[in-house]
Amino acid sequence: MKKSALVFSALVFVLFLAVFAAGCAQQEDVPLPDQADEKGSVPLTNLGYEKGPARKVIIDTDSGADDASALIFAAKSENLDILGVTVLAGNVGLEQASKNALMALQIAGSDAPVYEGEPVNFLEEEIEAYSVYGEDGMGDAGLVDPLGKAEDGDAVEFILESARKYPDELEIISLGPATNIAKAIEKDRDAMKKIKKIWSMGTAGLGVGNATPVAEFNVYADPEAYKVMLDSGINITIVGLDMCRGEAEWTNAQFRQLEKENDIGKFVSRSFTKLREFYEANGSPESVTNCDGLAMACAIYPDFVKKTIKCHGSCMTDRGETRAQVIFYQKGFIYDGMLSDELDYNVELAAEVDKPAFFDLYLEAIQ
């Protein structure tokens, strides 16, 4: 072999070794899912969100299909320690809400206790349960047959006992009307002031409503209760309807993906049957919102919320066109019609969330 050919072969071999070594170095620098981050301490999801440590929470819900999907999300998360689930009338009546919550927890393999709360609203008026999720709130797909039963204790008392037991530590994730929470505030305001945070799926945010053009369903079901919660001074993070739309919506293709995933995926997909029919009848056949599921993503992974606005929230309770509208006064903004600013800015309003990651986070959780 000629000398020039030997030199060329040697150069090629050296170049191969250099490229191979660089590739190995790159692979070593990329953390694998479920391994520690570069600090060597925090395990991550496949999408880079931190797992754990578990925070103590109560989930307050009226147990429609989106609530059930959120309960499953929470039960499968390492970030939440569910002390209990408190239910109330809203999407469905109290008894059905209890059964739906028990079924969702059973499907998720959770033994979290369920406590029944208010069958009526804050003014002691019967809530006319109406659900776009079907008569049973779960798609009328024959999904609800729980083995367990609700606890004997009362939901409001359970909330208060937990608030006293875990001051400045307990968080409440509110997925339905605020009746149970308002009743607890009315009964023992001092204990409730020790709640670390309330996560509320409620209001239209900075967008339009669904119960009316200006009101969101959870607030509309009991605006007096929502006003009590807002006026309590407790730290509240609100996830409004505007965060649930657009890229956060679940598509037909994603529902098919759920069906193929496992039994949990099938359960969740089929529970949305009636909602998907409702959306299709209203001119949106390709996708639907899952607001409670998205609100749960915010609670599970606080850094899922990319931007918040510090606000004072004011809930309209007059019986007119603006009933249940929540008006947000932004801290630091000077309003022409307000000569003084003595408002309590206890609300963090979600203004941007990681919408494209929502479904993938959910799918990862139930695998």
Question: Would you please indicate which residues are annotated as catalytic (active-site) residues?
Answer: 62
Q: What is the 3-state secondary structure (H, E, C) of the chain?
A: CCHHHHHHHHHHHHHHHHHHHHHHHHHHHCCCCCCECCCCCCEECCCCCECCCCEEEEEEECCCHHHHHHHHHHHCCCCEEEEEEEECCCCCCHHHHHHHHHHHHHHHCCCCCEEECCCECCCCCECCCCCCCCCCCCCCCCCCCCCCCCCCCEHHHHHHHHHHHCCCCCEEEECCCCHHHHHHHHHCHHHHCCCCEEEEECCCCCCCCCCCCCCCHHHHHCHHHHHHHHCCCCCEEEECHHHCCHHHCEEHHHHHHHHHHCHHHHHHHHHCHHHHHHHHHCCCCCEECCHHHHHHHHHHCHHHEEEEEEEEEEECCCCCCCCCCEEEEECCCCCCCCCCCCCCCCEEEEEEECHHHHHHHHHHHHC
How many residues are given for the chain?
A: 367
Q: Is 245 exposed, middle or buried (0-12, 13-18, 19+ CB in 10 A)?
A: middle
Q: Is 158 exposed, middle or buried (0-12, 13-18, 19+ CB in 10 A)?
A: buried
